[in-house]
Amino acid sequence: MAPQTNDGPLALAVIGGTGVYRLAGLEDEEAHQPVTRYGAPSGPVRVGRLAGRRVAFLARHGEGHSVPPHQVNYRANIAALHALGATRVLALNTVGGITGRFGPRVLACPDQLIDYTWGRVSIYCEEPGSDVLHVDFGDPYTPSLRREVMAAAASAGVEVVDGGCYGATQGPRLETRAEIARMRRDGCDLVGMTGMPEAGLARELGLEYACLAIVANWAAGAGPHADEVITLEDVLANVAAASSGLPDLVGAMLAG
Ligand code: HPA
């Protein structure tokens, strides 16, 4: 069949996090290098076909993982996907687990978040003369897209925990035990460094946005071995293992 990557609307945009630098199954890829008024995104936006639908993929940290969480140009990333016609974003976020259901290798689709980041450019409407936006953010993740993720997971036979609260920290260092204990008291189930401002910016531009969190480790002081040291090797191995169901899950989303 002839490649068809340039026609039709984008069915989905996927943003990959730590350990997910390409979208498995994406065919007939074209690499776009958009430059937005906010600057360049983290790397090329790869547009191709998956399950017969047009899909875009962007590695949040760059394909060689060169951009740390606090330096990601979140505005450029979301603006670039929007400019390419994305209306729905599935964000893959590698996280640590804080509470019982969210151990290493679990996939979760959180329904709430708390933002602990600071000093990141977190809004679009900051240019002189632009309207001040107070976007509704009571449900930070689009409920209908979350339902689609959960339905796709069920039909693909991929286990995903439905719900949970994502706490977005500044990084790039990991947290102290006391910080994680505070986050647990606050109601966080998961901790990651990239959930914000990405979700807020997507809402500002009117994009549907859901997070599929990939639990790489127990957060500091959490889990059955509270004194365990978190290593990058463990994180990457757990992400690779937990990601094995992603192609089926994304495929089921596109088929649905
Ligand atoms: N904390 C913050 N971000 C993370 C973690 C963590 O423990 N694991 C993977 N991303």
User: pLDDT at residue 256 above 80?
Assistant: no
Measured between alpha carbons, how far is 183 from 220 in angstroms, rounded to an integer?
11
Q: How far is the CA of 114 from the centre of ligand 1 (A)?
A: 15
Q: Cα-flanking dihedrals φ and ψ of residue 208, to 5°?
A: -70, 140
Residue in 18, 61, 95 to alter for ligand 1 test, most ligand atoms within 8 A of Cβ:
95
User: pLDDT at residue 20 above 60?
Assistant: yes
Name the residue at shortest CA distance from atom 3 of ligand 1: 192
Handedness of CA 20, 242, 194, 133 (dihedral sign): positive
User: pLDDT at residue 132 above 90?
Assistant: no
Handedness of CA 26, 208, 188, 151 (dihedral sign): negative
How would residue 4 be classed by pLDDT, with cut points 50, 70 and 90? very low
Mean pLDDT of the chain: 93
Torsion angle of C-alpha atoms 244, 100, 118, 231, degrees rounded to 10: -60
User: pLDDT at residue 9 above 90?
Assistant: no
* Across 200-207, average pLDDT: 96
How is residue 247 written in tokens? 């192609």
Q: How far is the CA of 165 from the centre of ligand 1 (A)?
A: 14
* Across 83-101, average pLDDT: 97
For domain 12-123+136-255, which CATH number applies: 3.30.420.10, 3.40.50.2300, 3.40.50.1580, 3.40.50.720?
3.40.50.1580
Torsion angle of C-alpha atoms 123, 69, 241, 188, degrees rounded to 10: -60
How would residue 118 be classed by pLDDT, with cut points 50, 70 and 90? very high
pLDDT digits (tens, 9 = 90+) for 138-166: 999 999 999 999 999 999 999 999 999 99
Name the residue at shortest CA distance from atom 10 of ligand 1: 95
Can you give the pLDDT at residue 5?
39
User: pLDDT at residue 6 above 80?
Assistant: no
User: pLDDT at residue 174 above 90?
Assistant: yes
Measured between alpha carbons, how far is 183 from 249 in angstroms, rounded to an integer?
30
Cis peptide before 9 (omega within 30 of 0): no
Cβ neighbours of 100 (radius 10 Å): 10
Shortest CA distance to 74 belongs to which of 39, 106, 125, 109? 39
Shortest CA distance to 92 belongs to which of 238, 11, 173, 210? 210
Query: Is there a contact between 17 and 92 (Cβ–Cβ < 8 Å)?
Result: yes
> Which position has the token pair 């509270």?
226
Rg (CA), the chain: 17
Task: Please report, rounded to a whole number, the percentage of residues in the chain having pLDDT higher than 70.
Answer: 96
Which range (1-15, 25-39, 173-187) has the least confidence? 1-15
Q: How far is the CA of 184 from the centre of ligand 1 (A)?
A: 14
Domain limits, the chain: 12-123+136-255
- CA of 220, closest atom in ligand 1: 7
Measured between alpha carbons, how far is 77 from 37 in angstroms, rounded to an integer?
11
- DSSP structural state of residue 244: G
* Across 14-42, average pLDDT: 94
How would residue 7 be classed by pLDDT, with cut points 50, 70 and 90? low
> Which position has the token pair 């350990």?
19
Q: Are strands 112-115 and 190-192 parallel, antiparallel or unpaired?
A: unpaired
| SS3 of residue 6 by DSSP | coil
Q: How far is the CA of 169 from the centre of ligand 1 (A)?
A: 9
